[in-house]
């Protein structure tokens, strides 16, 4: 091999090494997992009406009726089914004093209609853990998720799901409001709707 051939070989090796180094150091960073795995939208509601007896942990007759109305609302409203029917339904876990029953009863007819379980992994005050779970689960990416929660924690739950600023305190007399949280360009957008009769 002549001197000129050796020079060309050295240049080629240097050039190849430069390409390899450049490829490793300048490869595009992977997309953030939260942007990849977050749902397309989250439907967030309060449980339906409660009875006058404070010791009764279940829905009132009016609440039972509203729970039935939720089924047709979710399945027919254009905004609610914009990204398809829900793939998961969450409610608060039942505590030792039966707190949490009403959220589960509110979404039970909907869950039965969709053939889905009502998932209850967390107590009402553990809204941050719920938000983390929903926003990071790949199975929910680009899908619709329904959450029925206690009204006291709904503003904080919405904030944990990315809504900023957090919504105002939910009035105790209101049972028909729906928070629709959608993710556009990586940012949570909140809109509201109503269902049933207030």
Q: For 73-123, how does the pLDDT look when each residue is reduced to its tens digit (9 = 90+)?
A: 999 999 999 999 999 999 999 987 667 899 999 999 999 999 999 999 999
Identify whether residues 12 and 66 lie together within a single domain.
Answer: no
**pLDDT given for residue 99 in this prediction:** 78
Domain count, the chain: 2
How far is residue 134's CA from residue 150's CA, in Å, rounded to a whole number? 17
Tell me the HSE value of 104 on the side-chain side, using a 13 A CA sphere: 18
Task: Give the length of the chain.
Answer: 198
How far is residue 120's CA from residue 130's CA, in Å, rounded to a whole number? 10
Identify whether residues 37 and 26 lie together within a single domain.
Answer: no
**pLDDT given for residue 131 in this prediction:** 98
What pTM does this model have? 0.81
Identify whether residues 149 and 109 lie together within a single domain.
Answer: yes
**pLDDT given for residue 2 in this prediction:** 52
Identify whether residues 184 and 87 lie together within a single domain.
Answer: yes
How far is residue 126's CA from residue 147's CA, in Å, rounded to a whole number? 13
Identify whether residues 14 and 63 lie together within a single domain.
Answer: no
How far is residue 26's CA from residue 40's CA, in Å, rounded to a whole number? 31
Ranges of residues in the chain with a pLDDT under 70 are 1-36, 97-98, 198
Identify whether residues 23 and 58 lie together within a single domain.
Answer: no
Identify whether residues 25 and 46 lie together within a single domain.
Answer: no
Q: Give Cα 188 distance to the centre of its chain.
A: 10
**pLDDT given for residue 153 in this prediction:** 96
Domain that holds residue 4: 1-30
How far is residue 41's CA from residue 180's CA, in Å, rounded to a whole number? 7
Identify whether residues 39 and 9 lie together within a single domain.
Answer: no
**pLDDT given for residue 33 in this prediction:** 43
Identify whether residues 94 and 108 lie together within a single domain.
Answer: yes
């Amino acid at each position: 091999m002549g001197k000129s051939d050796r020079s060309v070989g050295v240049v080629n090796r240097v050039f190849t090494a430069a390409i390899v180094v450049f490829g490793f150091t300048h490869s595009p960073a992977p997309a953030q997992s939260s942007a990849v795995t977050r749902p397309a939208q989250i439907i967030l509601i309060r449980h339906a009406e409660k009875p006058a007896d404070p010791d009764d942990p279940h829905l009132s007759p009016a609440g039972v009726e509203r729970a039935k109305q939720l089924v047709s609302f979710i399945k027919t409203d254009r905004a609610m089914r914009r990204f398809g029917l829900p793939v998961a339904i969450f409610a608060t876990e039942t505590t030792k004093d039966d707190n949490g029953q009403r959220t589960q009863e509110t979404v039970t007819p909907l869950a039965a209609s969709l053939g889905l379980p009502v998932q209850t992994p967390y107590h009402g005050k553990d809204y941050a853990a719920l938000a983390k779970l929903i926003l990071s689960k790949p199975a929910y990416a680009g899908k619709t998720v329904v959450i029925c929660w206690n009204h006291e924690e709904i503003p904080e739950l919405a904030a944990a799901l990315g809504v900023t600023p957090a919504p105002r305190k939910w009035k105790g007399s209101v049972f028909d409001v729906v928070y629709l949280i959608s993710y556009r360009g990586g940012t949570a957008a909140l809109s509201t709707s109503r269902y049933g009769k207030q």
